[in-house]
Amino acid sequence: MAHATRSLESRTNNRDGRRQRLAMDRTRASGRTRSAAAAHSCVAVTAASSHHRRTITAVNGSRAADIWLWFALVLPSSFIVHKYGGWGVLLAYAIIVAAILPFKRRLFSRLHDRWMLSLAALAAAAVVAAFVILYPVANTHQPGAGSDDDDAINAGTSALLAGRFPYTATTYLGNAVHQLPGTLILASPFVLLGTSALQNLFWIPLFFLAVNAEAGRRATVELLWTALALSPAIMWEVVTGTGYVSNTVTVLLALWVLIRTRRRGLAALGFGLALASRANFVFLTPLAFGYLRQHAGTREAWRATALTIATVAGLTLPFYLYDPRHFTPLEGADRLLVFDGMLPHLGAGLIVAMAVLGVALASRPMDSVALFRRAALLQLFPIAAGLLLSSVRDREVNLVYARYGAFFAWFAFLAAEGRDTMSATPQCPRQLSGD
């Protein structure tokens, strides 16, 4: 037995050595020399998963993946469903989604390939029609109807385009502009076209183009119809012009491009612009660094991260320094700091805990699927904390924080349809898939 064990260890070490040399050789052939740290990370991931190589297809078909997808569909919609239907309707909705998910893949597998493009076009037409018909109805500027999120973006962006300080503007409900400058910059073309509510009609299709690049047309159409049919929150945001979905998708796509492109410097600037939209997304920076360190080397990771942080600071600090008292995005922290009344400094502790969680998740080996899954988990943390603590404070279930579910759900959607394997052997030599 001892002889067999030594023989097995010898073969394992030789195999890992060959994999590491193969990764380095292929990378040098592409004109980009990877650092020893990146190659070592690839081998580490391989060793960790050599006994149970799991393709993402197997993961998608598992019960755990269906539970994760159920959570991403139901939680963001729970506030809306409960608001208009009550607890009974919410419970029925959650049960129906759980009953449908195990059969969705079987249903779409029976459809002919030639139907996929037609189904995608039909879904796009339905979303546009819903926006054209229902947005004017929802956008009545009456308290309790629609949302003033698009009005906040419109007001701030209009002030910015006119050369004024954007954070003195308010909405028809008297709410301040809480979005960071990145949101206002990205919304500028849509505000010039009439309203920032148009963003959703642009960014949602781009998200599904990314899914198509990752998983193919059939999986994309399956996810498209699953999300639209089973998550009322998505259509709610479209018809009310709320920017949570478009905001999340811009960050997600910027991260997706950053880990795929050869023009990483430009991609890092774009990622910084996207992060400078809401403070909760800044906590994704360690995850991006961790992925790049493992797959492109420590030097490249530090370079991209430095450009990202410099972009966030360059877009945000001038507005803060101009008028710190009226820099209203700081009020966004009140969504967690409000819990200081329950326990001193509890809100600040949650912010620190989120940062620590981001660093911890970034320190473990990951492929792109794990990256987006961990991004979803990180964005879920403050939402789950808000749901729990507000319910304890109010002594009843409070679903208000579920409104922010889009911030994690779209990362979960992409992770559910990604194609990377947990084994890094075939993936590490192919870090850059082109533009």
Range with the largest mean pLDDT of 45-54, 207-216, 283-292: 283-292
Instruction: Say if 236 falls within a structural domain.
Output: yes
For residue 18, pLDDT over 50 is answered with no
- Summarize the confidence of residues 81-106 as an average pLDDT: 93
**172 three-class SS:** coil
The span from the CA of 177 to the CA of 166, in Å, is: 8
Instruction: Say if 13 falls within a structural domain.
Output: no
pLDDT given at position 138: 82
Number of domains in the chain: 1
Both tokens assigned to 351 = 């912010």
Mean pLDDT rounded to a whole number for the chain: 83
pLDDT given at position 141: 65
For residue 4, pLDDT over 70 is answered with no
State whether the Cα torsion 290-291-296-302 is positive or negative.
Answer: negative
Instruction: Say if 29 falls within a structural domain.
Output: no
The span from the CA of 374 to the CA of 251, in Å, is: 14
Instruction: Say if 3 falls within a structural domain.
Output: no
- Summarize the confidence of residues 10-31 as an average pLDDT: 44
The reported pTM is 0.82
Instruction: Say if 49 falls within a structural domain.
Output: yes
Instruction: Say if 423 falls within a structural domain.
Output: yes
For residue 284, pLDDT over 50 is answered with yes
| CB contact set of 249 (below 8 Å; sequence gap of 6+) | 203, 204, 206, 207, 410
- pLDDT per residue over 118-157, tens digit each? 999 999 999 999 999 999 888 776 665 557 888 999 999 9
The span from the CA of 342 to the CA of 346, in Å, is: 8
- Estimate to the nearest angstrom the gap between the alpha carbon of 227 and the chain centroid: 15
- Summarize the confidence of residues 258-266 as an average pLDDT: 91
Instruction: Say if 210 falls within a structural domain.
Output: yes
Higher per-residue confidence, 343 vs 173: 343
Instruction: Say if 25 falls within a structural domain.
Output: no
Which of 22-36, 104-118, 326-340, 372-386 is predicted least confidently?
22-36
Task: Identify whether the C-beta of residue 337 lies closer than 8 Å to the C-beta of residue 345.
Answer: no
Q: Which domain covers residue 95, as residue numbers?
A: 34-430
The share of the chain scoring above pLDDT 70, in percent, equals 80
The span from the CA of 387 to the CA of 385, in Å, is: 5
The span from the CA of 122 to the CA of 128, in Å, is: 10
